[in-house]
Amino acid sequence: MKIQIAGTGRFLPEKVLTNADLEKLVATSNQWIIERTGIHERRIAAEGVCASDLATPAARQALEAAGMKPEEVELIVVGTSTPDMNFPSTACFVQSKLGAVKAVAFDVLAACSGFIYGVSIANNFIKSGQCKNALVIGAEVYSSIINWEDRTTCVLFGDGAGAVVLKAGEGESGILSTHIFSDGSKSADLYTPGGGSVNRFTPDLVSEKKYALCMKGNSTFKVAVKSMADAARVALEQNGLTGADIKIVIPHQANLRIVSAVAKQLGLDESLFYINLDRYGNTAAASIPIALDEVVRNGRAGKGDLALMVTFGGGFTWGSVLVRL
Residues that bind ligand UT7 (CB under 6 A): 28, 32-33, 36-37, 112, 151-152, 155, 217-218, 220-221, 224, 254-255, 258, 282, 312-313
CB 106 to ligand UT7: min, Å: 22
Structural contact between residues 41 and 282, judged by C-beta atoms closer than 8 angstroms: no
Catalytic residue flag (residue 252): yes
SS3 258: helix
CB 304 to ligand UT7: min, Å: 31
Alpha carbon distance 129, 131 (integer Å): 5
CB 193 to ligand UT7: min, Å: 16
Query: In the complex with ligand UT7, which residue's Cβ is closer, 68 or 190?
Result: 190
Residue of 19, 255, 276, 282 with catalytic role: 282
Query: In the complex with ligand UT7, which residue's Cβ is closer, 4 or 253?
Result: 253
Alpha carbon distance 201, 194 (integer Å): 7
* Best CA proximity match to 49, nearest among 100, 18, 95, 11: 11
Query: In the complex with ligand UT7, which residue's Cβ is closer, 224 or 250?
Result: 224
SS3 149: coil
Residue of 92, 154, 252, 255 with catalytic role: 252
Burial-class residue 325 by CB neighbours within 10 Å (0-12, 13-18, 19+). Answer: buried
CB 237 to ligand UT7: min, Å: 24
**Three-point CA angle 71, 323, 179, nearest 5°:** 95
* Beta-sheet pairing, 104-108 with 306-313: unpaired
**φ, ψ of residue 268 in degrees (nearest 5):** -110, 155
Alpha carbon distance 49, 188 (integer Å): 29
CB 143 to ligand UT7: min, Å: 15
Query: In the complex with ligand UT7, which residue's Cβ is closer, 220 or 320?
Result: 220
CB 211 to ligand UT7: min, Å: 18
Query: In the complex with ligand UT7, which residue's Cβ is closer, 33 or 308?
Result: 33
Within 10 angstroms of residue 80's Cβ, the number of other Cβ atoms is 31
CB 221 to ligand UT7: min, Å: 4
Query: In the complex with ligand UT7, which residue's Cβ is closer, 172 or 183?
Result: 183
Catalytic residue flag (residue 112): yes
* Best CA proximity match to 283, nearest among 318, 241, 253, 247: 253
Query: In the complex with ligand UT7, which residue's Cβ is closer, 166 or 309?
Result: 309
Residue closest to ligand UT7 when measured from CB atoms: 217
DSSP 325: -
Q: How far is CA 184 from CA 82, 187, 299, 317, 318, in A?
A: 19, 5, 38, 8, 12
Residue of 112, 131, 154, 214 with catalytic role: 112
Alpha carbon distance 169, 3 (integer Å): 6
Alpha carbon distance 102, 122 (integer Å): 16
Catalytically active residues, by annotation: 112, 252, 282
